[in-house]
């Protein structure tokens, strides 16, 4: 049975945003009278200030450096529409369906905090996008991450008023047409509502939720790949001994070492007297994967704090009835989190690239055929196994490593020097997702090569003395979906298939 996630009832987790993005849950907006009253109280503050001829940034003034421009009352309704229009300058590829759902969900979550001066009707309109899967077409490029994700989020605001393209029921169409087909009205923005929609960190935060969940699963897969590689390389299982890791007690590192040790059945394995120490890509895997695992709780706290925050400007406090002008749209925390995450994930790409190299090289794989070729007899020299796949891994790993330059330090003064220090958080989040994509490619290639190495080792010795029941279960899963590489064949289709296995979290961990 599909579960339902309620916006406005309680803080949301990044795992919930991930499930919304995957389309595996339904969503609803809280109906509690107390919640509705709080939202409308913020809206009432705006209306009261305007009724008293007060000044509100972005309502009675122009935007950004143009805040000194006075906007007459007869233009207050047109101003938010114009904001959505002039920010329609995004370029690059479009965010995919999962990314778009995550972005919408992140914006709705922030507005539900009740500090943005919007109406309950606007929350209903945003929720309807998710409920009917009406997905604005949002270009990826054009945000500096402060004043929030103005340009990407303008495509959501523009879609709500019927002026942008959306994808609905698998077809690209004008937003107004999609709303009509879904039986929904086009939304009419009230003063400040376009600013509340756009002047926040939803794009980077939604992407960060996706990146964190993918990294969390990838870390588990990486530990399992490492165990498989140790078996294939006839490595030393005692490198992962629990007592060894008690003296360097990083919790994540200990978790990874324990997982690998369990996979290797290490308490029953025999010490390899001829080789006390394996190369670092095997021996130090817990220290490499563990650094990411230890970072994940901190990153989760940071991302969820941003997700459940009011991050637009100005802030409207319905309790004190004050309008507070500040800079909560600044995406510095998400920028930091994504710069950290992408660096740790890229380390996994580098780790598995080195494991692949170890397994393919007869000088380091301890008796396996060159390139893990499964060909036999006189045709052995005709076939090259995983040789080209290793070249691909080197390319993917290199690109991932190149992208680890921190985006957050590349601030550029813009918008007449009003936005003179910006976060680049959305670029950092996009980088993190690209690093994940590349690292996943290296991971699935190494998984298949490691499995091939265990098959070759089994052919040599008749059994895999180190493999536990859970690791044997993984081997059987791979065998059910991948054909042993005996004669040369193109492996791109296999690799793409296994990327789906990984991204749909079907690989047993």
Q: Which two tokens stand for residue 192?
A: 């400040």
Same domain, 216 and 252: yes
What number of residues does the chain have? 509
* pLDDT score for 2: 65
Mean pLDDT of 17-35: 98
Residue 390's alpha-carbon distances to 258, 271, 441, 445, in angstroms, are 28, 30, 11, 8
User: Per the residue annotation, which of 18, 57, 115, 187 is the catalytic one?
Assistant: 57
Condensed to tens digits (0 to 9), the pLDDT of residues 478-500 reads 999 999 999 999 999 999 999 99
Q: In this prediction, what percent of the chain has a pLDDT beyond 90?
A: 90
Sign of CA dihedral 212, 105, 307, 340: positive
Same domain, 380 and 430: yes
Rg (CA), the chain: 26
Q: 179-189: buried (b, 16+ CB within 10 Å) or exposed (e) per residue?
A: beeeebeebeb
Residue 500: strand, helix, or coil: helix
Q: Is the pLDDT of residue 269 over 70?
A: no
Catalytic-residue membership of 57: yes
Q: Which two tokens stand for residue 225?
A: 């790949």
Beta strands in 161-231 (DSSP E): 165-168, 171-174
Q: How confident is the model at residue 398 (pLDDT cuts 50, 70, 90)?
A: very high
**Domain end: 163, 184, 200, which one?**
200
* Residue 94 domain boundaries: 4-200
- Counting Cα atoms < 13 Å in the Cβ hemisphere of 369 gives 24
Same domain, 252 and 153: no
DSSP secondary structure, 221-280, as one string: HHHHHHHHHHHHTT--GGGG-HHHHHSS--HHHHHHHHHHHHHTTTTTSPP-TT-S---H
Within a domain: 230: yes
Mean pLDDT of 29-38: 98
Q: How confident is the model at residue 6 (pLDDT cuts 50, 70, 90)?
A: very high
Q: Is the pLDDT of residue 273 over 80?
A: no
Condensed to tens digits (0 to 9), the pLDDT of residues 362-388 reads 999 999 999 999 998 888 889 999 999
Condensed to tens digits (0 to 9), the pLDDT of residues 137-155 reads 999 999 999 999 999 999 9
CA atoms of 59 and 268, how far apart (whole Å): 71
Within a domain: 280: yes
Angle at 167 between CA 166 and CA 170, to 5 degrees: 165
Same domain, 192 and 212: no
**Domain end: 175, 200, 225, which one?**
200
Mean pLDDT of 117-124: 98
**What's the predicted TM-score (pTM) here?**
0.97
Is the previous residue joined to 242 through a cis bond, with omega within 30 degrees of 0?
no
CA atoms of 81 and 340, how far apart (whole Å): 37
* pLDDT score for 461: 87
Condensed to tens digits (0 to 9), the pLDDT of residues 215-245 reads 999 999 999 999 999 999 999 999 999 999 9
* pLDDT score for 464: 80
Residue 101: strand, helix, or coil: helix
Mean pLDDT of 18-24: 98
Mean pLDDT of 303-307: 98
Mean pLDDT of 449-474: 92
Number of domains in the chain: 2
* Secondary structure, 3-state, 26-54: EEEECCCHHHHHHHHHHHHHHHHHHHCCC
Q: Is the pLDDT of residue 1 over 60?
A: no
**What's the CATH code of the domain at 333?**
1.20.200.10
Q: Is the pLDDT of residue 157 over 90?
A: yes
Mean pLDDT of 376-401: 94
Same domain, 277 and 392: yes
* pLDDT score for 272: 60
* pLDDT score for 367: 95
Q: In this prediction, what percent of the chain has a pLDDT beyond 70?
A: 98
**What's the CATH code of the domain at 123?**
1.10.275.10
Mean of the per-residue pLDDT values of the chain: 95
* pLDDT score for 68: 86
CA atoms of 203 and 412, how far apart (whole Å): 19
CA atoms of 458 and 475, how far apart (whole Å): 12
Within a domain: 508: no
Kindly give, in sequence order, each residue whose CB lies less than 8 Å from that of residue 280, ignoring residues fewer than 6 positions away. 354
Residue 150 · residue 199 · CB < 8 Å: yes
Same domain, 145 and 264: no
């Amino acid at each position: 049975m599909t579960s339902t996630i309620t916006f406005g009832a309680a803080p949301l987790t990044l795992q919930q945003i991930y499930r919304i993005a995957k389309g595996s849950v339904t969503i609803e907006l809280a109906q509690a009278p107390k919640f509705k009253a709080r939202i409308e109280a913020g809206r009432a503050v705006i209306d009261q200030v305007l009724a008293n001829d007060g000044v509100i940034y972005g309502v009675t003034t122009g935007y950004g450096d143009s805040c000194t421009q006075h906007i007459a009352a007869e233009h207050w309704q047109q101003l938010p529409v114009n904001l959505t229009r002039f920010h329609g300058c995004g370029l690059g590829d479009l965010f995919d369906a999962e990314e778009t759902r995550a972005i919408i969900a992140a914006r709705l979550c922030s507005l539900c905090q009740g500090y943005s001066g919007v109406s309950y009707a606007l929350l209903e309109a945003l929720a309807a996008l998710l409920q009917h899967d009406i997905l604005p077409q949002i270009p990826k490029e054009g945000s500096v991450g402060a004043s929030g994700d103005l340009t990407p989020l303008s495509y959501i605001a523009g879609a709500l008023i019927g002026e942008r393209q959306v994808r609905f029921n698998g077809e690209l169409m004008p937003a107004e047409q999609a709303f009509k087909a879904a039986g929904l009205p086009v939304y009419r923005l009230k003063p400040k509502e376009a600013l509340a929609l756009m002047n926040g960190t939803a794009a980077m935060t939604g992407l960060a939720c996706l990146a964190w969940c993918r990294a969390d699963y990838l870390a588990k897969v990486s530990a399992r790949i490492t165990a498989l590689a140790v078996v294939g390389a006839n490595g030393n299982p005692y490198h992962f001994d629990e007592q060894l890791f008690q003296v360097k007690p990083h919790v994540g590192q200990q978790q990874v070492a324990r997982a690998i040790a369990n996979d290797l059945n290490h308490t029953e394995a025999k010490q390899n007297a001829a080789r006390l120490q394996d190369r670092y890509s095997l021996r130090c895997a817990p220290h490499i994967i563990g650094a990411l695992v230890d970072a994940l709780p901190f990153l989760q706290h940071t991302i969820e704090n941003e997700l459940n925050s009011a991050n637009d400007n100005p802030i409207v406090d319905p309790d004190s009835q004050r309008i507070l002008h500040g800079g909560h749209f600044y995406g510095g925390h998400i920028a930091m989190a994504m710069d950290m995450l992408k660096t740790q994930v890229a380390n996994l790409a580098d780790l598995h690239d080195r494991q692949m190299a170890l397994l393919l090289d007869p000088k380091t794989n301890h008796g396996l055929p060159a390139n893990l070729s499964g060909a036999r007899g006189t045709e052995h020299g005709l076939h090259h196994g995983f040789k080209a796949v290793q070249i691909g891994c080197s390319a993917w790993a290199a690109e991932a490593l190149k992208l680890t330059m921190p985006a957050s330090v590349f601030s550029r003064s813009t918008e007449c020097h009003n936005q003179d220090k910006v976060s680049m958080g959305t670029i950092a989040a996009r980088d993190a997702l690209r690093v994940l994509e590349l690292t996943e490619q290296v991971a699935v290639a190494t998984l298949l090569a490691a499995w091939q190495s265990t098959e070759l080792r089994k052919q040599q010795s008749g059994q895999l003395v180190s493999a536990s029941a859970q690791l044997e279960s993984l081997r059987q899963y791979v065998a059910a979906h991948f054909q042993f590489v005996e004669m040369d064949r193109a492996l791109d289709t296999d690799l793409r298939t296994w990327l789906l296995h990984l991204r749909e979290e079907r690989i047993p961990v």
